[in-house]
Each structure stands twice: as C-alpha cells, then as structure tokens.
Amino acid sequence: MTDTSIPAAPKGATGILVLADGSIIWGKGFGATGSAVGEVCFNTAMTGYQEVMTDPSYAGQIVTFTFPHIGNVGTNDDDVEADAAHALGCIVREDVTEPSSFRNSKPFDQWMTDQGRIGLSGVDTRALTRRIREAGAPNAVIAHDPDGQFDIDDLLAKARDWAGLEGMDLASQVTGHQTRIWGSGIWRLGHGYASMDEMETHSHVGNGTGERPHVVAIDYGAKRNIFRNLVKAGAKVTVVPAQTSLDEIMALEPDGVFLSNGPGDPAATGEYAVPVIQALLEKDVPIFGICLGHQMLALAAGAKTIKMFQGHRGANHPVQRLEDGPDNGKVEITSMNHGFAVDGASLPDTMMETHKSLFDGSNCGIQIIGKRAFGVQYHPEASPGPQDSFYLFEKFVGGLA
C-alpha cells in the first residue's frame, strides 16, 4: 500500500516520482508519456544536460539536476554522446522554457518526447538531493500522464520489485555491436567536429613512421568525446564491442587498448571483461581505462570494487594527483559520473594509487606497477566539464609512439 501520509495529487499534476519506500513526489510531466523504473541520482553540473542524458553510463538511472534551469538552451545534433538518450528520465526544478541559444535545433521537451524519455518539472530538487545524500540513491518509478491518472499501488510495486544496479551488467546492452574506425576529432565553435585530414595537419603525435599509433577501444558504453580526444592526441582508433575476445583484439594489432566508461556493476561486466584484460596485461599491452574501464582494470589486477552510497556525478569534483614528480599534489577539477568505485583499501602491492577524490578520499586513479597500464575514475574527456585532464590522452597515446 502507499504511504497514507502523502497528500493527494495537487491540481494540475501530470507527473509523479514514486520511491520504493512509499514516498511520492508530484510535479508536471514533460517529454514522453508512460513510466520507467530505475535508480534516482543527482548531477550537479550547471551545463551539458544533453550530454548527460545521452551518456550511456546513465543507463538504468533517473537524473535529478541540481541546476534549476534545465532545457533553457534547447538541443542540437552536436551535443550528444551517443546515438540516443540512455538516462531513463530527468527531474528538474523549473519548467522547460523556450530555447535561448543560436545553436538550438529542437526544444528540450520535444527532444525528450522524441527520445522516449520522461521528464518531471516543478520538483524541489534541493530537498530530493539532500534526501539522496542522507539515505542513498533510491529505486523509483518516474511517470507522466497528461490526464494526471496514476495507479500508485502499481507504480510502487514496480519500484520495490526492481532489483537495482548492483549485480547488473548493462554494458552488454549499451555497447555498439559492430567494429568500426572512429574518424573525427573534437568540436570547435564555427568549425564543427574536426575531420581526420584536419587532425593530421595539427597532430604532433606519431610513432616515428608517419603513422598514428593504433588504439583499440573497447566500448562498454563509451562517450563519443573520449574517442575524439584519442584522435586529437594522435591515435588511430578502432572501436570494438564490449564482449570482443582477446584473439579478435590482438588480430587488430593494437599498439594500445583503451577501456571505456559504461553503466552497471563492474563486477558483473567483469565476468567476461576481466579475463580479457588480464590476458592483455600478461602480454604487456599498454592499457588506459576510464570510469568502468578503470574499475575493471583494478579488478583484473586484484583489487575490489564497491557500490557507493550516493555516487559522484557532476563537473566540479576536485581530484589530487599522488604521483611521483613535479605534479605530485596538483589538483584537477574533473567531471565524474559513477555509482561504483575501486575500494582503495583493497589495492594489492602490485598497484599504486595515483589520484584521490578531495571530496571523500575515494580512489580516483591507479597504475599497475611494472606494466604500461593505468586508469582514472573520472572523465578526462569532460563533455560536460572542465578540461584539466586532457593531458591523460596525450600521456597514453604519446607513450605508444
């Protein structure tokens, strides 16, 4: 039964969020109609809502935006990180307004409808964010009906029956299913995405033969801007599906292997991914992992991962370097999106911690001692977010020359 202490729907309510504990949050629905069940999280970025909604790492999640004015610059075909939206829906404070950007091609609410994603506006997002911080990320159902008709008991049952993200492999659902050559660089205002010809003109990275080092990127749910930055750093990039075998990877003759971000539990995805990564380590293939890829690299080297209480999602996360050398102690402001983390207490002697979060001290980077393999928990490609960490792509690709 529902929580009888929750008041009846306010007049004009066409959207609802039903938490697994029986709590109900009313609002105004926008975007697609229907319902979706997932984990409610929050993101503190002030910009980049379209990139967030299309980030495959948000599969299975409903995003609460702490910045109140979401949708105010509309949408366009460039600011996407995948072919379609992967976040199940979003929760915002203010109503979506008319777009105010010259780059707009479609209002955000219409884009949400076309993507089949549900939005809920008019919500006290500060209160919901505090609730997540204090009680953890809850399972919930978001629903939209223009007539305001909801079967709350049915929605509550769906929220309570959903198993949650722990133990769930989502990478196999969001990965690309074809091997492909990535052919563009980063975006610039007035120029769009750089072509390979333009990148050849401006790249200073090579392997000494005039050819770009070949990076095979394993797509566990990758953001496009990662591939763009690898190209910008001087690599030729071949993208392969999440479940690509070791033999198939080695047949591509990689100079290095990249492990992408992605959604779900790293231990679940690791059932098929970790043995491949371990074999790559045994062959001393250079490896760079981001987010989920970082976590599975750690698993392959003997560490453990844990489900976080509330996760890290935003574009203002301070991370401190712990590496030897002149950059030791330097702080980067980073973009993050993860609900699982490497357990810093589980790192074996063969692994060195290279970065840590200054918010909570959690692990944000590793280096496998004696191997050309490293990973970071955050997103150095940003999109959205700061560009403090672009150097990591140059470090990886430059080391392949």
Domains of the chain in sequence order: 15-161 (3.50.30.20), 171-398 (3.40.50.880)
Q: What are phi and psi of 36, to 5 degrees?
A: -150, 140
Q: Look at residue 194 and tell me whether its pLDDT is greater than 50.
A: yes
Q: Which of 92-96, 143-147, 197-201, 337-341 has the lowest mean pLDDT?
A: 197-201
Mean pLDDT, rounded, for 94-111: 96
Query: Residue 387 region, left (φ>0) first, then alpha (ψ -120 to 50), else beta?
Result: alpha
Confidence at residue 209, expressed as pLDDT on a 0 to 100 scale: 52
- Nearest CA to 129 out of 4, 359, 314 is that of 314
Confidence at residue 338, expressed as pLDDT on a 0 to 100 scale: 97
* 291 has catalytic annotation: yes
Q: Look at residue 375 and tell me whether its pLDDT is greater than 60.
A: yes
Q: Look at residue 399 and tell me whether its pLDDT is greater than 80.
A: yes
Q: Look at residue 334 and tell me whether its pLDDT is greater than 90.
A: yes
Confidence at residue 2, expressed as pLDDT on a 0 to 100 scale: 43
Q: Which of 104-118, 280-294, 313-327, 343-357 has the lowest mean pLDDT?
A: 313-327
User: Which are the contacts of 83, defined by CB distance < 8 A and separation ≥ 6?
Assistant: none
CA 294 to chain centre: 12
Q: Which residue has the higher pLDDT, 201 or 335?
A: 335
Q: Which residue has the higher pLDDT, 208 or 283?
A: 283
Mean pLDDT, rounded, for 259-270: 98
Q: Look at residue 210 and tell me whether its pLDDT is greater than 70.
A: no
Unique residue bearing structure tokens 């203010």? 94
- Rounded to 5°, the CA angle 126-130-132 comes to 120
DSSP string of 362-398?
A: -EEEEEETTSSEEEESSBTT-SSS--TTTHHHHHHHH
Catalytic residue (one of 81, 291, 312, 332): 291
Q: Which of 6-20, 36-50, 251-265 has the lowest mean pLDDT?
A: 6-20
Unique residue bearing structure tokens 């098929």? 272
Mean pLDDT, rounded, for 277-299: 98
Q: Look at residue 7 and tell me whether its pLDDT is greater than 90.
A: no
Model confidence at 389, pLDDT cuts 50, 70, 90, reads very high
Unique residue bearing structure tokens 């599975």? 296
Q: Which of 17-31, 205-219, 330-344 has the lowest mean pLDDT?
A: 205-219
Confidence at residue 325, expressed as pLDDT on a 0 to 100 scale: 85
The fraction of the chain above a pLDDT of 70, given in percent, is 95
Evaluate whether 121 touches 92 at the Cβ level (below 8 Å).
yes
Q: Please write down the HEC assignment for all residues of 337-362.
A: EEEEEECHHHCCCCEEEEEEECCCCC
Q: What are phi and psi of 302, to 5 degrees?
A: 110, 0
E-state strands within 189-277: 192-195, 214-219, 236-241, 256-259
Model confidence at 198, pLDDT cuts 50, 70, 90, reads low
Mean pLDDT, rounded, for 242-251: 98
Q: Is the peptide bond before 56 cis (omega within 30 degrees of 0)?
A: no
* 381 has catalytic annotation: yes
Q: Look at residue 205 and tell me whether its pLDDT is greater than 60.
A: no
Confidence at residue 187, expressed as pLDDT on a 0 to 100 scale: 77
Catalytic residue (one of 39, 81, 332, 381): 381
Confidence at residue 206, expressed as pLDDT on a 0 to 100 scale: 46
DSSP string of 31-85?
A: ES-EEEEEEEEEE--SS-HHHHHH-GGGBTEEEEESSS-TTTT-B-SSS-SSSS-
- Nearest CA to 267 out of 301, 289, 295 is that of 295
pTM of the shown model: 0.94
- d(Cα 292, Cα 294) in Å, to the nearest integer? 5
> What does the mean pLDDT of the chain come to?
94
